Structures are given as structure tokens and as C-alpha cells.
Amino acid sequence: MQIDGKQYLSVWFENERVKMIDQNKLPFEFRIAEYSNYLEICDAIREMTVRGAPAIGATGAYAIALAAQNAPEEKFRAYLRTARDELIATRPTAIDLRNGVNYVYEQTIKFIPDYRHSRQVAILAAREFAKKSIDDCYQIGKIGSEIVPHGARILTHCNAGALATVDWGTALAIIRIAHQQNKDIFVYVDETRPRFQGARLTAFELEQEGIPHTIITDSASGFYFWKKEIDLVITGADRICLNGDIANKIGTYEKAVLAKEHKVPFYVAAPFSTFDLATKEGADIPIEIRDEDEIKRINGTYLANPGSPALNPSFDITPAKLITGIITPKGIFKPKDAARQVQI
């Protein structure tokens, strides 16, 4: 991604450290966070210094690689197993995290007791996982741009951009490439309460690339559907089930319902690392519930009645019947058929 004219990845491994763009600081401050052990990275994932399903998948992969560098030989396997379990537990809904962690873990333990080789393999496997994510997202952008008509007015929710992946993004990869194709697009950016990933991060990415857009409140999208000013909805996903149901940022479901009511195509863009073939349907996905203070306070200042409780689910489920198609690195498929492509 381009930030002030310079190319960055959202997360990478360099000089025995995992480095990432601190997404909690954007767009007001650009900061690179650095971590030297996996426990620090567990905190970074929980605190959403890094967020977005593919991005935390790559972060988890790098974290296990880092754990392999630090693991004592006499407890190598046990140390890695503990690191694996603690990383996966940080955010239970996004399946990419588990997939990235498990991929590097399995590749690394194959070479025990050759610990030197195991450590080298861990770094190579993590970089391979991250590179695959970048390649997949670029393919999603190329394939998905075909569904974007000239002059399209697109609604997106949360941040499914380069910050949420390693580079390019999922939904925003499509938007980026459509913009590069001079399709004269315009993007409606949901603010995405309570952490404002749309208003802070998606808007930041679009501004950096000169893509025309505006921020709207989460509750305003129905108004623009009613005015017939939205032609297309594209979101990312945090998990895609065997039957095509998806989990994504809270509020995605209501966008899909509105799109269905107004006969507007609703597409989901995701790499294969986001598919969970072991989960049959959306009802089986664990939904992360975050602290109520994310709703009630911003930067320590109360915006809601302090004495009232608040509910803060981080994700919701959009059923397959509301999804026009799932855009993958292999093509665009009906939700019920998309998972089959992972197995081919």
C-alpha cells in the first residue's frame, strides 16, 4: 500500500522482530510497532494494533516463527504448542488467525530435533503464508474488478483494505483496481462503530490513493439505498462457512438485508485462508464479545450514560441467501459453491 508515496506492508518480519503498522494510531499518527516475543503480539492482536482477518493470519504466522526463534531446545515442542494455543485464543471469530498459526506450527515441528533447521523453516513458512495472502488479494482485485461497472457507487463496511490484509486488501483490492482502470467509481464508507475502522482506516487508504469517497454514519446507508445512490456492496469476511454463511464486522448483516430489499448486488471478497470447511453454518461460529467501554467511551471520554450497560458483539452472521457471490482468487462463485473451490 502507498502511504505518503512510500510502499508498506501491514505486517512483516525483519531483524528477528515482527513489525506492523499500528492501526490504533491511524489516521492521526503513523507508527511502526515492533515485537520481539509472541506474548507481546498476543496483546497487539487483542488490542487491535493489527486487525483484519488476513492481517492477523499473517501476524499469527510470524508470531509462531518468532516463538520458534525464542523456544528453548529442551522444551521446543511444548513452547510452540503453548504459543499456538495462546495466539489462537486472542480473537476467536477470524479463522485466518488459526490457519496462519497452524500452518507455521505444523511446518516447524516436522524437523524436530533439528532445531536450527526448524527455526529457519518457521521463518520461511511464515513469509510464504504472508506472500500467498498478498498474491491472493491481488487476484481477488483483478477478478472482482470485472463486476464493477463504469461510474459505480459502491458501499463498503469496516476496513477490508491493505491494512486488513498484508497488502492490496479484499474489498478494497477490487476498488483499487477498478479505480486504476479509470472506471470513475465513488465509495460510500460506513464509519463502522464502535472502533471506526471505516471512518479511520478505509477512508485513510482511499485518500492515500486518490479514490473519490465519503464517510457516512452506519445508520445512513439505508437512506442512500432508498435514494438509489448505491449500485453495489462489497465487503470482506472474517470467516466463511461450508454452506456460504459468513461472519464479518458487526453491521454487515443489516447492509446485506438492505441490499436485498433494494435489489442491489451484495458481494463478499476473501482469500481461501478465510474459509472454514469444518464449520457447517453461521450459527456455529463463535462471536467475539468485546469490552463495553469501546461503545461507551472514546479516548477515555464518555459518549454514553456511564451507568448504563452496553453490548458489544464484534461480528455478525450474514446468511448465504443474502450474498450475490463470493469473490475468491479462483473466481466468483455462488456462496453454496465457494467452499468447494478450496478443496480443488
- Residue 25 CB coordination number (10 Å): 14
**Identity of residue 26:** L
Q: Examine the domain organization and report whether 21 and 107 are in the same domain.
A: yes
Q: Examine the domain organization and report whether 110 and 159 are in the same domain.
A: no
Instruction: Considering the candidates 218, 238, 245, 276, report the single residue annotated as catalytic.
Output: 238
Q: Examine the domain organization and report whether 72 and 217 are in the same domain.
A: no
Q: Examine the domain organization and report whether 84 and 232 are in the same domain.
A: no
Cell numbers at residue 237, please?
469476511
Cut 0.85: pTM above it = yes
Q: What is the CATH number of the domain that holds 125?
A: 1.20.120.420
- Assess whether 135 carries a catalytic annotation: no
Task: Give pLDDT tens digits for 157-216.
Answer: 999 999 999 999 999 999 999 999 999 999 999 999 999 999 999 999 999 999 999 999
Is-contact 242 339, C-beta < 8 A?
yes
Task: Give pLDDT tens digits for 179-195.
Answer: 999 999 999 999 999 99
Task: Give pLDDT tens digits for 3-49.
Answer: 999 999 999 999 999 999 999 999 999 999 999 999 999 999 999 99
The pLDDT assigned to 340 comes to 85
The length of the chain, given as a count of residues: 344
Number of domains in the chain: 2
Among 80, 69, 258, 71, CA closest to 155: 258
Task: Give pLDDT tens digits for 44-71.
Answer: 999 999 999 999 999 999 999 999 999 9
Whose cell is 505444523? That residue is: 106
Residue 25's domain spans which residues?
Answer: 2-138
Among 55, 81, 80, CA closest to 67: 80
